[in-house]
Amino acid sequence: MIETTTSRDTSVGIVEKKYFTFADAPDKLLLESGARLGPVTIAFETYGRLNAQQDNCILLTHAFSGDAHAAGYHASDSADDKPGWWDFLVGPGKGIDTDRYFVVCSNILGSCMGSTGPSSLNPETLTPYGLDFPMMTIGDMVVAQKALIDHLGISRLLAVIGGSVGGMQVLQWCVRFPEMVRAAVPVATTMRHSALAIAFNEIARQSIMADPNWKKGNYYGGPKPDMGLAVARMVGHVTYLSDQAMRRKFGRRLQDKANFSFGFDGDFQVESYLHHQGSKFVNRFDANSVLYITKASDYFDVVEQICTPGLIKGTEASKIKYLVVSYSSDWLYPTYQAKELVQSLKRCGQNVSFCEIEADCGHDAFLIPDQRFTRLIGGFLDGIS
């Protein structure tokens, strides 16, 4: 059963974005590239309450263009206020039950949704970093998240849960800080990008860099590379859908016309939809952040490291309970990649469950309300809490 709506009546209510700043000079954050970055600000939200034992914390990790707003609403009187991106999953009595769990979601390093990224001011120049922002990795994002978790006084996470690039962060947590993770739920993700995924990311990056307004990343304060960014989003959005979903939503139906224009106007509904998605994205996201985050996801590779924690520690305490979730119509991170992850984890003795959910929505299915997914997550958490 697939739900299509969310309700304020069942949400966590009004939530507030918070900020944590660390890594002030001279103790700047050391990145995998060898560069140092500081100060670093991480935007985050929390839902529910931390219990006295401080053992009920769940960390949510978002997808590439997501943010810290995973659940609830930011305003009570705004018609435009939208619920968090996993509002159907996170809240009182839901799969991630905020009556039982303390839930944290932070915006990733390199983003433009409150955390330090290329659009942030460089303290040395007092102008936006642009391409002076150092290249970062999924591992660097996780190190920044750990600094936040340490700041909140949490020594061990009940679970880390996330989809897509968020799923990469889940796996990186298990590799970097296995002693802090009791359970992990990587959803619609991979241990490393395929050539196909890297290719689509490169097309997106080249579309941005080919825009004359990009100016090698120094467009702040002037015209932005809106056309390049919109095209990049169109390319990305196609990979998030599936053939079945696009046939169901659009087919070959025309947009507001009875016949072809015999020109280059958007004749088809699918063309109009992609133009709309590109325009929306331009209004909320930074082009340079797209460059950095897609590159970080291309660099990501834990194929050799995924079993290292268990092999080195060699104890039951080091084992993490995994739930790996894939979707049948996801061709960006197809099920065979999830099965490769499951096989790798089983080979080194980890406790792994796997579920492929039948859905024709493509890669974005994990963001669409679905009672099957909600029950799956809730049941898994019941088994570890």
Distance CA 306, CA 354 (A): 16
Active-site choice (62, 69, 193, 363): 363
Q: Verify whether residue 164 is a known catalytic residue.
A: yes
Please state, in angstroms and rounded to a whole number, the distance separating the CA atoms of residues 103 and 127: 34
Strand partners, 356: 326
Q: Identify the burial level of 119 via C-beta atoms within 10 angstroms of its C-beta, where 0-12 means exposed, 13-18 middle and 19 or more buried.
A: buried
Q: How many CB atoms lie within 10 A of CB 379?
A: 12
DSSP string, 135-187: P--HHHHHHHHHHHHHHTT-SSBSEEEEETHHHHHHHHHHHH-GGGBSEEEEE
Tell me, yes or no, if 106 is annotated catalytic: no
55 by Cβ neighbours in 10 Å (0-12 / 13-18 / 19+) ranks as middle
Cα 108 from Cα 208, distance rounded (Å): 21
CA distance 185 to 192: 16
Which residue type, as a one-letter code, is found at position 180? M
User: Token pair for residue 118?
Assistant: 């290329």
Q: Nearest Cα to 64, choosing from 223, 273, 286, 218?
A: 286
Distance (Å, whole) CA 195 – CA 229: 22
- Distance of CA 152 to CAs 50, 156, 162, 293, 309, Å? 10, 11, 20, 26, 25
Q: Is 55 a catalytic residue?
A: no
Q: Among the options 164, 242, 289, 326, which is catalytic?
A: 164
For 8, counting Cβ atoms within 10 Å of its Cβ (0-12 exposed, 13-18 middle, 19+ buried), the class is middle
Calpha distance 18→74 (Å, rounded): 12
Query: Are the C-beta atoms of 83 and 91 separated by less than 8 Å?
Result: no
Which of 140, 211, 330, 370 is catalytic? The answer is 330
Phi, psi of 241 (to 5 degrees): -95, -170
Structure tokens at 323: 């739930």
User: What amino acid positions are annotated as catalytic residues?
Assistant: 164, 330, 363
